[in-house]
Copies of this chain bind each other. A is one copy, B any other.
Amino acid sequence: MDNDATAALADRDGAQAEISLDDLDRKILQELQDDGRRAFRDIARTLQVSEATVRGRVKRLRDTGVLQILGYVDPAAYGYGTMVVLLVKASPAAHSRAVAEFTAWPETTWVSTTIGRSNIYVQMLCKDSDSLYALLTSRLGDVDGIVDVDVIQEVKVHKAEYHYSRLS
């Protein structure tokens, strides 16, 4: 753990900001991954620093977009039983425009550029298969430059954990 990771996070304007994390940042992030409401004093006690330091770091990490403290709700419990992944193949010229369009949709929870069989990866939530059908037939057709789309429906989620344990 002696390397500095730098990340280019894109904000909504497409501008980028370079952010580098040190060891303390990473430890704080690890503490918050499991329980986003952990008290700053607890974390400070664990990491042997002052509470104000932890608070300042967390504020910076949240402001820069590295950390999001959010309430993740099980979609099925909330009433959005239909989860779909779109594997979109877009023409190179239309790629960024298509990405922007998918990002703007409220139903999408994840949009990324991929390499492999498809260009764009889209994760979506719908209330039921009716609204999914409406979305796929009407709005998806309005996106230009789409060559091919694979629709994969998730019928059961077995694991949904967004914390990085100690990897390799």
Contact = CB atoms under 8 A, between A and B. Distances in A.
Given A116-B152, A116-B153, A70 B162 contact: yes
The 10 closest A-B pairs by CB, nearest first: A32-B71, A7-B77, A5-B79, A116-B152, A111-B159, A36-B36, A36-B69, A7-B76, A112-B154, A68-B72
A35 interface: yes
A144 interface: no
Interface string A153-167: 111111111111111
A103 to B, nearest CB: 5
Question: Oligomeric state, in number of copies?
Answer: 2
User: Could you say which interface size class chain A belongs to?
Assistant: 35 or more
Interface of A: 3, 5, 7-10, 19, 21, 26, 29, 32-37, 65-81, 83, 85, 87, 99, 102-103, 106-118, 121, 125-127, 131, 134, 150-168
Contact of A74 (B66, B70, B118, B121): B66
